Structure 1
Amino acid sequence: MPQSPEEHTGARVARTRKARGLTQQGLAMRANVSKSLLSKVECGQRPASPALVAACARALSVTTSELLGQPYTEELRRDRLDTVIQPIRASMENWDISLEWQVPARPLALIRADMQKVLVQRRQAEYLPMAVELPHLIDECVQVLHSTNGDEQRQAHECLAWAFRCVFTLAWSFGYVDLATVALSRLAWAAPLADEPGLAAMYGYLRAQTTLSSGRYDLGMHVVDSTLRDLEGQDSRRAQGLAAMAGVLHLRAAVIAGRTGDADAVDARVSEARELARRTGETSAYGVGWGPTNVGVHAVAIACDLDEYGRAVALADDVRFPKGWDRSRAGHHWLDLGRAHVWTGDADEALRCLQRARRTAPQQTRYHPSVRETVVALRSRERARSGALSEYAQWIGL
């Protein structure tokens, strides 16, 4: 498809600004960003950083998804991923009411085994099979928790909490913010009943993630620190699980600090996370893919958020993925590194990073808004038509 001026986030910011009757200076003042930066973003000369998008969305009273162009409806329809969202929405309607089923639920052990498969699919960014499985797993879990008691009922709540966590990932990745919000509220209900402090910490971790989109960084930092305090002195059924959750919470705080430009707070939080990772090593407790590698890839991402693209490239030299590491996190790393290479002027390496992201986690890459920004930036800089870049742009729907 031919490129249009509406394909990058800056163009959508400009269109929304004009619809609100605001000048660039007016929006810059409301969003607390410089007019010069806003001007460059609107015409595609500078990247639309996540912090700037959140600030503009808040100032314009729209969602960040709207400025990012999500959900990418036509691409979702082409991949038939749109057809799996409505069944998930329908399954999320019931989480607390006992219904009479003609067919009894399967034994809990079988449900838990299938839930573990879905959790693996989430970590590997295999979104379609995960989405297909979730509706009936949610229904079964609800049926079991209303027909059992004791530890079996607790386990049903635990499975249900994991299902809601997976729904959040799907909805957030595809830009269905309303569905992600519902999933988060359901997780807040199920986690305490599962009697797993790590799941309660997962709720805090994801809630802080939503504040990145709204630009409420003060609230996000409060959520992280409150969750960390709640973890102190807790016991878990998963060895190293709580240390892993504490680690990812510190990384979440580092990301929030990066969005506010607080480099000192970033360094402090990353240091805390690095020390925890040194003690735990690599682990997948609570499905977070925690360890020194996760700290490394977050350091690269945060450097990008701080517009320190040269530093991001340098930090990436020390990142080595262990065998079998999470494809979702690895794919995201290649997207971050591709963005860094664009703005350091290495277009060839940027495209190579995007291609690695595609090979690593294709569904995640295709629907991630940052890849579109990177491709648009590459196309605006190419001196001669690149077949590889054109094919990639077509693949993501540009």
Structure 2
Amino acid sequence: MKIAFKLFVFAVFTSFHLGVFAQGGNSKYVNPFIGTSGFGHTYPGATVPFGLVQLSPETGNFKWDYTSGYQYKDSTILGFAHTHLSGTGVSDLGDVLFFPFQGEKQIYKSGFDKSTEKASPGYYTVVLKDNNIKAELTTTARVGVHQYTFNKGGKASILIDAQNGLVNSPRELAGYILEGQVTVVGNNKLTGYIQSKKWVTRRTFFTISFDRNFTSHRFIDGDKKRKVILDFDVTAGAKVGAKVALSTTSVEGAQLNMKEAESLSFAQVRANSVAQWDKLLSTATITGSTAQKENFYTSLYHLLIQPNNIADTDGKYRGADDKVYQSPTKAYYSTLSLWDTFRAAHPLYTILYPKQDGEIVGSMVQHFKAANTLPVWTLAGKENYC
């Protein structure tokens, strides 16, 4: 379905940096930085339409300012995590944070120069100026793909923090993870899981694969084994790539989901992501100024980054009662803020995206079968009754 709109927008447009990568479709008008200041509560990182993974920088993780983990005004980055909410007034997620660095660190964060920070649908990049490390992020639906360029030779390190989360205080963060750990498998792979409790109690399983071997690893949180530093030997200008697959069902589910990106290069994943965005953003065309198109298509972009299809590639998902089910459509949507989105978002889905809308309604029916009630506000398949 293709619908033409004539749009008259009377709004103030604020200019931010916008990166472009072979974008000939409407994705070139999207500015992911819109909404990342003040209480917009959006994130600038990489994702695909309705994706399970939202790989984005975190500049803070406490208080209401950081429900999505990012404020545009900030000048330091804590790392890059794989799950984020958009537009909510409650914090949660921030799973499996990566932080690349060189040398010894006591506090894991880095300054960055705003002129190096760019974002477009399916892609984010920034240079961490403490060690002059270029970070690049892209995703498939279920896999976050990292590429770090170390401009100095020698030992390069990456912190993987599975204790990380978007919460209200350091005290709350200490109890955020109920159980879980990271397991090192060989010299270029890790697996793990966490069970966390914030807005809902939920499980996240993951598998991590690097494109080169790490020379050593060390856990920095004792027996908990949720924070591990990996060391690599690199030459100046060397790139270290990582792929992180998520699942709500099991480590095996995450390993199955990894096949989405297993044989693809960073550039291929990025190009596929742009193609997905261009396809869905092409369902509406408007006439107007460039600023009007940026406002319109960025709004449509935000419509499409939630809800999230949390099913594995084989259709398995963890339901409202914490049991694993098989979706008849191989899709199961969560992050449903229905008390709010019924007004405009869902009517628009029925017009522009009827296939996905049917899958969303089917997910509500599946939720009813597990919970004996229709969803109110679901996160990771669980009801929070917000």
TM-score in terms of structure 2 length = 0.28
The structure whose RCO (Cα within 8 Å, separation 6+) is larger is 2
**Larger % of helix: which?**
1
Which structure has more strand as a fraction of its residues? Answer: 2
